[in-house]
Amino acid sequence: MSVEIRDGSVESGTSRAIFDNDGGFLSIVGIEVSGATAAALVATANGGISFLQNSMVTGSSMESVTYTDSTGAQSVTNVNVADMRDMDDTFYVEGTGSSLRVSDSIVSGNDIPESPWTVVNVRSAASGQVSRSTIANNTGIENGVAAGGTDSNLLVQQSSLLNNTGVVSSSHV
């Protein structure tokens, strides 16, 4: 399966995963999401490869903007996440062989003080990379970036955490 979505919008509505990639190739470019309620905007698993690029997610409630497991790979480039109503993790990856790359993205202006959240969360032997990205002016953050579990690894380079409140730590390894 190969799917490409360009220049669209998602407004309101409720879903488990808005875009679900189970072992295929998914490319999403230039979408605007607002007012949605979902477990994830993009869920990738079972060797699937997903790209989320040049997009904006605002005013929504999601467990994760991206969720990746079971040897899936997710690339997030030039994505802005702002004014979210609820969120557990902005970008989440878990499991041996699973990977997440976030670059040139901004997570800013999210006021979620009732539910501590993490921007980049790498778990259970997954790998992650964050480059040229900004996490700024958010409230309720538990961790800016986090890696946990045996053999998880996370590389952060040329990125900034600025003016966040509620941060327990900027990284947790």
Output the tens digit of pLDDT for each of the chain's 173 residues: 899 999 999 999 999 999 999 999 999 999 999 999 999 999 999 999 999 999 999 999 999 999 999 999 999 999 999 999 999 999 999 999 999 999 999 999 999 988 899 999 999 999 999 999 999 999 999 999 999 988 999 999 999 999 999 854 445 44
Residues linked to residue 117 through DSSP beta bridges, in sequence order: 141
CB 157 within 8 A of CB 130: yes
Report which of 29, 104, 25 is spatially closest to residue 72, judged by C-alpha positions.
Answer: 25
Longest dimension (CA), the chain: 42
Q: Where are the domains of the chain?
A: 2-166
**């062989």: which residue's tokens?**
97
The count of other CB atoms within 10 Å of the CB of residue 82 is 15
Strand partners, 145: 120, 171
What is the distance of C-alpha 67 from the center of its chain?
7
Q: Which amino acid is at 161?
A: L
Q: What is the pLDDT of residue 169?
A: 47
The whole-number pLDDT of residue 1 equals 84
23 contact partners, CB below 8 Å, separation of at least 6: 1, 45, 46, 47, 48
Q: What is the 3-state secondary structure (H, E, C) of 12-62?
A: CCEEEEEEEEECCEEEEECCEEECCEEEEEEEEECCCEEEEEEEEEECCEE
* pLDDT (0 to 100) of residue 167: 52
What DSSP element (H or E) covers 88?
strand 86-94
CB distance 80 to 103 below 8 Å:
no
Tokens encoding 93: 């990856």
